[in-house]
Structures are given as C-alpha cells and as structure tokens.
Amino acid sequence: MQKTAIIAGASGLIGSQLLPLLLASNRYAKVIAVGRKPLTQVHPKLEQRVLDFDQLEQHSMSLIADDVYCCLGTTMRQAGSREAFYRVDYLYVVTLAALTARNFASQLLLVSAMGADAGSRIYYNRVKGEMEAAVQQTPFRAIHFFRPSLLLGERNEKRPAERIGAILLRALNPLLLGPLRKYRPVPAAAVAQAMLRAAEDDGGGIKVHLSDEIARTSSL
C-alpha cells in the first residue's frame, strides 16, 4: 500500500532536491509540501499547504502522513536575531514533530547539523542539540537525524562564508581521514537521497547520519 509523505522546507537547498525524489518514488501516493509560500512545481501527487508556522497547531488535521521529512532551518544572519533563529530551528521543528506524531506518523527524517549538542557553548549547535533532544521525546517508530557538514549546491541566497569554507574543505578532503571524514562537505542531493533511502528501510529507533556515511552511500 502506497504511503503519504509530508515535506517541510521543500524550497530550501536540501528540500528542493528531496521533493522530486519523493514525487518520483513508488513508495508515495501523495506528497504534502508544507511551507510559507507556494511552490512552482505541479505534479499529480503533490498537495501544497501554505501556512504560517506560528499557527501550525491550527492546521494539525491537515498534517497526516506516514513519513515526515523536515528540512526546515535558517542561519543567525538570515533570522536576524537569536529569538528568530530559535523560533525556526527549534519551535517550528519540534511543533511539526509533535503534531505529526500525534497524528500517528511512523517516521521522522530531519535535517539537523553536524555540531548539534545541547551542552555546546555555541548557540547554533546548542539549539540544534536541544531540538534533537525534544524531538526524541515524540512517539515515532523511527527518527532519523541527518547531520551534514558544509553542504554543496546552489542556494537561492548568497552565503560567502559557506562558499569559502566549502572550497577550503574540498581542498583538504584528502587529509580528512578516519574520524575526520565527517567534516567533508557533502552535496545536498546526497543528503536528500539518504533521507529517502532511510525511510525505505522502514526500521525503528533513533539513528544519526553523519556526512561520511551520507557520502559513502550516495550515488553521486
């Protein structure tokens, strides 16, 4: 029996790579894209829910699916303040997880960050770690956290620092061996592939996917 998927953040770097994979997959009869703005894609399987994430609770009955893919995320620079960053990367993500779990979704596949750590002194990493800790309290059969290093791919917005970092890490790739492999940059398309592959495994429990594993299993 074909399933239903929800994807949040389908217009972002990873989400825009993931959405076509979900639509092409025989696993899904319906793909619900949740976002603040309508997408340009048109597809027989695609249903769009244009909504305000601050009012997510009001839309809970339209958030019913088997697999939930969360690609929500911003940066401190984009958000403009710690409060705005926390709202997107913690509150929106945790609320989406809680609502879809309450609606009996089976799996959550979520993009986090390589340094996620609730005890970190770095605010970005601490929020990501706190988000993961909160999400782990939701009753999904399976939760997958994807913690990529720097992402490779064309973004809608310019991020000069990330572009420079990606160039430097690419040059250092041959030296990033053993436990350092997780610092290698990874294509956003590879993360999208890994997310769908993890869902197709239909396993259980909580699993963390790092850049080296994502790159190793990718066809790119």
Distances (CA, A) of 198 to 178, 191, 216, 217: 23, 10, 14, 11
The rounded distance, in Å, linking the Cα atoms of 147 and 167 is 19
Let me know if 37 is a catalytic residue: no
Let me know if 45 is a catalytic residue: no
The rounded distance, in Å, linking the Cα atoms of 191 and 69 is 12
User: Which of the residues 3, 124, 183, 207 is marked catalytic?
Assistant: 124
Can you list the pairs that 125-129 forms with residues at least 24 positions away whose Cβ atoms lie under 8 Å? 127/85, 127/86, 127/89, 127/90, 128/89
Token match 């909504």: residue?
51
User: Which of the residues 69, 90, 92, 128 is marked catalytic?
Assistant: 128
Backbone φ, ψ for residue 30 (5° rounding): -145, 140
Which residues sit opposite 69 in a β-bridge?
Answer: 7, 109
What DSSP letter does each residue of 118-155 carry, written as one string?
TT-SSHHHHHHHHHHHHHTTS--SEEEEEE-SSEES--
The rounded distance, in Å, linking the Cα atoms of 156 and 102 is 33
Is-contact 72 10, C-beta < 8 A? no
Residues with a catalytic annotation lie at 124, 128
